Amino acid sequence: MNGLVHRPWNPDAWRRQVFFLLLLALANPAASSDKVWRTTDDNALWRSECGSCHMAFPPSLLSGAEWQLIMSALDQHFGANASLDPAARQEVLAWLQRHSATTRASGQSEELPRITTRDWFEAKHRSAIRLWNRGKIKTLADCASCHQGAGN
């Protein structure tokens, strides 16, 4: 005998193993998309101004047009006044647009674009949205809770 034990087919054990492997694959979602968090250059003004209230979101998460909308309404930035002087606003906007997504353009809307309501975000973050709906996660904007290195 070769020391191997033959076990009869157990579909429940197989499902558990597949489920466990899927969990392992999803345990580090940033591994497949860590390019989102890197740019060819950094902008200290963007990092300090945007990062003073929330994580400085990577510019590739929105299109240049969407960043334009956000930056044009900083006095009403999701319920807060995040105004910048004109020179700082222009520098940050130019940098965001230079590194923005080219394929994430959205339709016309009266609201400011939200990363967490984009179709691509909802498709990639279904499990996080379910946890948020159940009150297990405080905010969907806490990227660093799942994506290691987010915001660095």
Q: What is the pTM of this model?
A: 0.65
Domain boundaries, the chain: 40-145
Which residues are CB-neighbours of 76 under 8 A, at least 6 positions away? Answer: 112
What are the structure tokens assigned to 91, written together?
A: 């520098």
Q: How many CA atoms lie within 13 A of 148 on its CB side?
A: 6
What DSSP state is assigned to residue 143?
Answer: G
Maximum CA pair distance of the chain? 80
Q: pLDDT digit of tens for each residue in the chain (152 aa)?
A: 555 555 566 667 656 665 554 444 454 444 445 566 566 678 999 989 998 988 888 898 899 999 999 999 999 998 899 999 999 999 999 999 999 887 655 544 557 888 888 888 889 899 889 988 998 888 888 787 777 767 66
